[in-house]
Amino acid sequence: MARKSTGSRYRLGEPLSSDLAAFCEALLGTGEIRVIREALRTYMDQRLTAEPELRRRYDVARKKQLGSTEGDNVIMLPKGK
């Protein structure tokens, strides 16, 4: 069973914090983090689909995070003896 929370740890402010708590209760105790993750994924996917320039900047940022930036982060190691 999900722990009842006020949502304050996410610093959502009111009335969003109370709305989240009520929404989770209505979903029969679904955890707040699950609702937040699903909502955030939906929001991001919609924005990235609707805004090609945002998608381009996002893709560049993700490549940097994943370390695949056109090889400029590759360091050649010397061969072992």
pLDDT value of residue 44: 98
List all residues 6 or more positions away from 58 whose beta carbon is below 8 Å from its beta carbon: 48
> Which of 45, 20, 42 is CA-nearest to residue 30?
20
Binning the chain into helix, strand and coil, the percentages to the nearest 5 are 60, 0, 40
pLDDT value of residue 3: 55
pLDDT by position in tens, the chain (length 81):
445 555 567 889 999 999 999 999 999 989 999 999 999 999 999 999 999 999 999 999 999 998 865 656 567 778 876
Domain positions in the chain: 8-66
Question: CB–CB of 20/7 below 8 Å?
Answer: yes
pLDDT value of residue 7: 57
pLDDT value of residue 81: 61
